Amino acid sequence: MVVDVEVFVTGEKRQVALPAEATVRGLLRSLGIASGGVLVCVNGRHVIEDHPLADRDRVQIISAISGG
């Protein structure tokens, strides 16, 4: 089974095919995005990396900004 996820990375919209048991961590890994320094929301709710993904989930990946 394949899971389609809409991913918003810096305003870009993409669809990503993932295995049915995919998690946020797996999605980040497949996109080549380091998990440290990003905030991930699924369907408008902040989630942790172990959060399972479902068909047609809307995922937003927001880069954390730091500075002084």
The 8-class DSSP code of residue 52 comes to B
pLDDT (tens place) for every residue of the chain, 68 residues total: 567 676 766 667 888 889 989 999 999 999 888 888 888 999 999 999 999 999 989 898 887 776 66
Domain definitions of the chain by residue range = 2-63
Strand, coil or helix: what is 65? coil
Laid out side by side, the sheet with 45-46 consists of 12-19, 2-9, 58-63, 38-42, 45-46
Cα–chain-centroid distance for residue 65? 17
- pTM of the complete model: 0.82
38 phi, psi to nearest 5 deg: -130, 150
Architecture of domain 2-63: Roll (3.10)
Spatial separation of the C-alpha atoms in residues 1 and 8, rounded to whole Å: 23
